[in-house]
Structure formats: structure tokens, C-alpha cells
Structure 1
Amino acid sequence: MEECWRWYGPDFDRLTLPEIAQTGATGIVHALHEIPYGEVWSREAIAARKGQIEAAGFRWSVVESLPIHERIKRDDGDLSALFANYRQSMANLAAEGIEVICYNFMPVLDWTRTDLQAPLARGGTCLRFEAYRMAAFEIHMLGRAGAENDYSPEVCARAKAWFEASTEADRNALLHAIMSGLPGAFDRYDIDGLRGQLALYDGIGREEIRRNYKRFLEEVIPTAEELGIRMCVHPDDPPRDILGLPRVVSNAEDIAWILQAVESVANGLTLCTGSLGANPANDPAAIAAQFAARIHFAHLRNVKKDPDGSFEEAAHLGGDTDMVAVVKALLAEETRRVAEGRSDAVIPMRPDHGQELLSDIGRGTFPGYPLIGRMRGLAELRGVMAALAHG
């Protein structure tokens, strides 16, 4: 596998490319986060950023993400210009030799956590999703109708107790954490702003989201085939409906539906073991083996789950997912592709969300993306790959 590293760019990332070079990674996973959703990524902007990445000794291996405008997810009005812009951005990326595009189809929010610095037993911090705090946000802060039906009575009782004991600072910190999954420079929502965004999805259920997603695939996958681009959807994080919004990339059944909706090798999967692993019903290693032929990119991280639906970011080899089995499945797929003579035999991967450790603490890196924690994860994964290759 190609060892990659997510970098948010000079405007948003406190880590520099020379620092990242010391981790041993050779590929950069990057996006032009400064460009608003729905606008074209010009070839000039792509070439300039690619030149910066290559001057530091890296390859721009994967785009993460080329975002999908919310109107496409809602099927809101005339979408022809948005689809045309998306296809033009794809063409401009292909013209600069960038062939793997990761994206997601999560409505309104990207990854969602309630704690950005949950303490670890031996020091350091991690990202955490606490079910009762999310319930407190939905039921008592957002006032979403029917939210209590999405949580157990025990979680709802803890949510009520937390909210009644919370200060304004506590509630602001929770809102900040939930909004922090949105990438780039775009404004985070306040409570009223989030209510307004959710209202735009009134009457849009799972079947409507699936229908809109299928239209997106029908609009862009033929272009991907023409350009030699491999599109790969990122699973929902967490893999469950949230804020009353349907999520349709949460398990093996969802993935099978997506890959069959437009049957093409260009319509593929980003295997995120952390996102998928947060659902107790999912077996990330089995999903890796089942869909190996359509995996174009891998996020390797681990989570530790609690019975009430809470989870937190574990060490890369220390959570509930059998990471060795996942890596074994991916290496076997690479071997199969080499035997077929495929040009995409090597699967780019990156160590996903790391724990804040040592000099990471207090540095103010993007939540979930510290230096030391991810470098530890990359070293552990590199060791697994070396051991499996040795046999």
C-alpha cells in the first residue's frame, strides 16, 4: 500500500510538509478547502497546489474530498450547473494526473463527535462520541422533534441530567465539537443555523436520499470512466442516522447498493475502518474482503465501543477492529491486481484520526489530525504490512 498523510493545506493545517516528510509517508491526501462547495476547481489552482506538494517530495495521491453541494443531496431545483461544475473539476484534476477522488454523501455534517479531547488513561486525549451528550444536544439544545425516540431511556435520562447541570460554556463546547467535523474555512452553524439546514431536509427520507445519490452517480461516473478517475465514497461517521437525517453509507448492504447502482470500477469505496467499526453490527475486515475489488483508498483507524452507542478513537492496533485482518485483505487484493496487470494495483492508505500525544497536546492541530498520534499509527500499520509481507 502507498503510505499517505492527510494535509489540510497551508491555510488550515498547523503541520508543514517538511514535518510530514519525517513520518515516512510518500503520498499526500488533500483538497482545496478554500473553494466553496459547488464551484469549479480550476486547473491553475490544482497545478499550483500540486507543485507545492511535489516540491516537498510528495505525490498528491488522493483528493479528499471533492465535496458534493447540499442541493444535490436534496435534489433541490435545477442542478445542471452544479453537476457541470463537478465534472469540470474532475476533468481538471485528471489533467493534472490526480486520479483518485474520495467524497461522502452525508447530509449537512461530516464526521460527528461530542468531545474533541477526551482524556486517555495513560495521558493524551482522543476524539469521542458520547451518546448521552449527543442526545442532550438533539433533545434539549436543538429541540428536534422525536429525537428522544432515537436513544434508549437510559441515555435520555443521562442526557437530561447533563443538560440540567451544564453551563453555557459546556453547551457551547458541545456545539463546537459537533461542528468541528466540517472541513476548511466554511462557517460552522449555530443552533438556529443548524435548525435552518435541517428544515431543508423536511420530507426527505432514506429512499429520497438514495434516489438523489443514484442520480449523482449517474451524472459523474461516466465522466470518471472517460477520465480514468476512480471515485470512492467514504462511509458515514458515525454509521447511523443522526440529527434525524438519513444516512445511506453505513453498512455492507448500503455499500452493495451503491456499487450496484452504477456498475463500474470507477464507482468505488473508501474503506474507513473507523467509521464502519463504530457500528457493532459491522465487521470491517469482512467488508474489506467482500468489496476488495472496488476499494480505491483506505482510512485505517480503530475505535473502542460502549454498549450505549458511544465510542472513542483507540490506538490503531488497540480497538475493536481486527486491523491485521483488514490489512491482510487489502494486501491480498493488491496481489490479485498485480497478477491482472492493473495500473491501480497499489492502494493508497492513510493512518486516520490519531490520539493527541506528547508534543501534540496544546499545538492546536485540526481535531483528530495531530502529528505524533498519526505517526504512531502509521508506524504500527507499517509494521503489520511488513510482517504480513514477510509471511
Structure 2
Amino acid sequence: MKQTWRWFGPSDLVSIDDICQAGAHGVVSALHHVPSGAVWTSDEIARRHAEIATMKDGAPSGLTWDVVESLPVSESIKRRVGPWRDHIEAYKQSLHNLADSGISIVCYNFMPVLDWTRTHLNWRLSNGATCMRFDLTDFVAFDLFILNRAGAENDYPAGIVAEAKNRFAEMTDKRRAELERTVAFGLPGSVENLSLDDLRALLETYAVIDADTLRANLVAFLEEVVPVAREVGIRMCCHPDDPPFALLGLPRIMSTEDDYAFIMRAIDIPENGITLCSGSLGVRPENDLPGMMRRWGDRVHFIHLRNTKRESEGLPCSFHEAEHLDGDTNMVDLIEEILREEARRKAAGRVDWNIPMRPDHGQDILDDLNRKGQPGYPAIGRLKGLAELRGVMMALSARFDLLGAQK
């Protein structure tokens, strides 16, 4: 696997210099300042390439921009309303411009309204480290008593509703405000401080869109853009839902292996692929990550290696971001399957045999606790995770004649 690192651009408190020192070989980035539905221009793309290629003192970093994460799919496209046709044309042009710059992998997601959802951004663990967490009771308390979503109580078991009522009654005003901000953090454009009314309005737009409709809209989107991606030499890969179960009455269509199987078969073109995120998919106990890699490895274009730990039974459930080798996913078995797929591709002469991966998320440890960087993306926590994953990769690579060939 090619070891990469997510970078949010010049404002990221983890610098290009830090990434070099972590030993990553490539960068995963995006033009977060460009609104959804707008074209990523060649000039903006070139600027990001230059930023990645340069250290603070002007020396070359040796890093390349290997994966776009994400080229966002606008809400208009997901719902096929408003300027959705213009947005699809802009998406196609962005693919052309990215390909012209040398990029060949584009990650995207099709999650409605919320890009991801947590209730805690810095939940304290027993060893003093912090991590992101989804607490189901807290989330239901938000849904019922902060958002006041109509009919929300019908979406949860009566026992959870009663627990949420008690939890909310015990919350301080400070915790209620923090919970509201944390959930809103997962909203596209949340840097613009979207309000509860904004969220309610967005949810209302999905009142007539069920999972079948949203899935049909995803297929229609891919029918338009995947042929363009194929033409220009880009492999597209869809990120799973995070978390992989329904929230706020919204449909979820990329949460299970069956969801991916449907999309891969609907658009049966190699460039229509998968971002295998072991953290998001691993929240569902029925998602067999090593098995998914065996069955669908041919279509896996990008890999997120992270681990989550379920705290309750059933779905939806509470969970938190675990250490990379210490969650519910057997990371050693998963990495072995990834390396087996790489060896198969290499033997077949595929140019994409070296699949990019990044150590996704991480716990805040040591100086991360003072740095206060992007939630979920600490410097030292990810460095620790990458070192652990790298050790597993090196130990297993000899079995597949891949030692020294991963850069």
C-alpha cells in the first residue's frame, strides 16, 4: 500500500513538514474552499499541488497529491433539484482538470445532509487520550430536545427515548451547546455556522426521498460521470456512510456490503470503485472487512485504515474511535487481504497495484492535546497509527513478495 496522509490545506495545523517526518509517501487533499457544485479550476488545482510539493523553508517535500478526498457531490445532485444539471457538468469539468494535473483517484460520498456525525470530538479515555465518539443516547437527546425534529420519538425504541430524556435533563447548558456544535460540525459548510433552522430546512428537503430514490439518484449521477472518469483516466471511489445507519430520518444507501454490491453491479465499470473505510463499515458487526476485500478487492481504489469500538449491542449503537490495532476490526487480517490483492494486481501487470491508504483518524495523545487541530486528525495519534500499520504491512509483505515495493 502507498502510505498517504490527509491534509486540509495551508490552514491545517499538521504541516507538510510534519507529513514528511511521519514518513508518508503521498498526500490526500481537497479544495475545501471551493463550494459544492463549482468547478475546480486548473489554477486552484495547480496551487494545491505546489503547496504539497513545498516545505516551510522552500525545499521540495518529495510529496505528491495522490488522492482527492473529496470532490463533493452537491445536495442538488443528490436530490436532483435546482441547478443539479449544471453541477454535474461542473463535476465533469473538475474531473478533466484533475486528470490534466496528474491525479487518478477521486473519493466522494453520497451521504445526505450530514457528511459524518459524532456527539463528542474529544472524549476522554482512561489513559488521558481523547477521541471522537458517537453516543447514541446523547444523539437521541439532541434529536428530540435540541433539534425538536417532528416525529423523532417514533424512530427510536421507547427505552432509548426515556434514557435520552433523563440524559438531557442532566445536561448543563454548556454540554447542550457543545452537543449542538458537534453535530453541526458534520454538516457540509459547517464552517459557515449553520443553525438549527438550517438543519431543519435541509432535513425537510428529504421528506419525499427514501432510500430507493436516493440510490436511484446515485446511479444516475454515476451514469453521467463514470464514463468521463474512464475517458480521462480517473478511478472514482465512494466512501461509506458514517455512521453506517440511519439518523434524523435520512436515508442511508452506502452502509453495507450489499449496498456496495448494488452500485458496483449497476455501473459495472472498473473506474466505478470503493473507498474501503474500515472504521465506518466496521461499526456494523455484519460487515466482514477482510471478506469484503476478498470479494470486492478488484474495485477497491482507496483505503482508510482506522478502527472503531462498539459500546452497545444492536443498531444504531454507540461507538468510539479506537486505536488502529485495537478495535472491532481485525486489522491484521484486513491488511493481509489487501496485500494479497496487491500481489494479484502486480502479477497481472496492473498499473494501479499499489493501492493508496491513509491512517484514518486517530486519538489525540501527547502534544496533540495542546495543538487542538482538525477533530479526528491529530499529528501524533495518526503517526502512532501509521507506525503500527506500517509494522503489520512490513511483517506480512514478505509473504507476497512486496517488501520494498510499496512506495
TM-score by length of 2: 0.93
Aligned pair in 2 of structure 1 residues 31, 78: CA closer, same or farther (>3 Å)?
closer
1:62-73 equivalences in 2 (<5 Å): 62-73=67-78
Distance in 2 of aligned mates of 1:246 and 1:185: 21
User: Does the alignment pair 1:298 with 2:303?
Assistant: yes
Kept in 1, the 8 Å contact 2:241–2:255? The answer is yes
The alignment status of 1:208 with 2:213, answered yes or no, reads yes
| Equivalent residues of 1:180, 1:367 under 8 A apart | no
Stretch deviating more after TM superposition (57-66 or 167-176)? 167-176
Q: What's the offset of the Cα at 1:31? A: 0.1
> 3-state SS of the aligned residue for 1:304?
strand
Q: CA deviation at 1:92?
A: 0.2
- Cα distance in structure 1, aligned partners of 2:380 and 2:9: 18
Moved over 3 A (4+): 182-186
Q: Does the C-alpha gap of structure 1 residues 214 and 68 become closer, same or farther in structure 2, counting only changes over 3 Å?
A: same
Q: Which runs of 5+ in 1 are unaligned?
A: none
The answer to whether the aligner puts 1:15 opposite 2:5 as a matched pair is: no
- Within a 5 Å distance, the mapping from 1:185-264 to structure 2 comes to 186-264=191-269
Point out the more displaced range, 71-80 or 259-268. 71-80
> Is 2:342 the counterpart of 1:334?
yes
- Note if contact 2:302-2:357 (Cα within 8 Å) is conserved in structure 1: yes
Whole-angstrom CA distance in 2 between matches of 1:268 and 1:280? 23
- Counterpart residue number, 2:329: 321
Corresponding residue number in structure 1 for 2:151: 146
**What is the aligned partner in structure 1 of residue 119 from structure 2?**
114
1:347-370 CA-partner distances (Å, limit 9, x unpaired): 000000100001000311000000
The residue correspondences of 1:66-85 to structure 2 (distance < 5 A) are 66-85=71-90
- Map of 2:97 onto structure 1: 92
Deviations 1:327-351 (A, max 9, x none): 1111111111111111111100000
**SS at the partner of 1:361?**
helix
CA drift at 1:147? 2.0
How many Å apart are 1:149 and its aligned residue?
A: 3.0
Q: 1:366 to 1:25 in 2, by over 3 A?
A: same
Residue 364 of structure 2 corresponds to residue 359 of structure 1: no
Give the aligned length: 390
Counterpart selection for 1:101 from 86, 97, 106: 106
RMSD, aligned α-carbons: 1.3
The amino acid that maps onto 2:63 is F
Task: Give me the whole-angstrom Cα distance separating, in 2, the residues matched to 1:88 and 1:198.
Answer: 29
Distance 1:183 1:328, change over 3 A: farther
Instruction: Provide the residue aligned with 1:32 in structure 2.
Output: 31
Preserved contact between residue 43 and residue 92 of structure 1 (Cα < 8 Å):
yes
What SS does structure 1 have at the residue aligned with 2:353?
coil
Match of 1:370 among 373, 378, 390: 378
Matched with 2:282 is 277
1:184 positional shift: 6.9
User: Is 1:3 the equivalent of 2:3?
Assistant: yes
User: Do the aligned partners of 1:182 and 1:188 also contact (CA within 8 Å) in 2?
Assistant: no
Whole-angstrom distance in 2 between the partners of 1:317 and 1:150: 34
Give distance in 1, aligned partners of 2:187 and 2:25: 26
Q: Is this contact kept in 2: 1:33–1:184, CA < 8 A?
A: no
Q: Distance in 1 between matches of 2:133 and 2:34?
A: 29
In structure 2, distance between residues paired with 1:320 and 1:221: 33
Amino acid of the structure 2 residue aligned with 1:265: P
Partner of 1:347: 355
Question: Counterpart of 2:309 in 1: which secondary structure?
Answer: strand
Unaligned runs of 5+ in 2: 55-60, 400-407
Distance, in Å, in 2 between the alignment partners of 1:231 and 1:32 is: 17
SS of 1:381's partner is helix
Alpha-carbon distance between aligned partners in 1 of 2:275 and 2:189, rounded to the nearest angstrom: 20
CA distance in 1, matches of 2:246, 2:41: 35
TM-score by length of 1: 0.97
Deviation at 1:260, TM superposition (A): 1.0
CA pair 183-239 structure 1, distance change in 2 beyond 3 A? same
Which piece of structure 1 moves more, 362-371 or 281-290? 281-290
* Equivalence for 2:271: 266
